[in-house]
Amino acid sequence: DWNKPYKKSARVVGDVIGKYHPHGDTAVYDTIVRMAQPFSMRYMLVDGQGNFGSVDGDAPAAMRYTEVRMSKFAHALLADLEKETVDFSPNYDET
């Protein structure tokens, strides 16, 4: 939910790597950073706390120094996921 406490970005990245994307943390963290930057996306999907870079090209802080949670907009996008409006097919291990 969008109103839950912030979690360390490193923890979120670790969860994603462990469950869905076992190919390194850089791609995952860079994606989280982009979704938290108001100048990169029209609607932010991640509510970030800390240094996520700037429009002037300043780099974001390392994941151990930032915290994230789902944005209110992202929560609204996921609200109807269980209504089965899209047909899903099993993935490679049928989960």
**Is 65 among the catalytic positions?**
yes
Per the CB < 8 A criterion, the answer to whether 16 and 28 are in contact is: yes
Q: Sheet harboring 67-70: ordered strands across?
A: 7-8, 67-70, 46-49
Q: Which of 20, 43, 65, 92 is catalytic?
A: 65
Length of the chain as a residue count: 95
Task: Give the residue numbers marked as catalytic.
Answer: 65
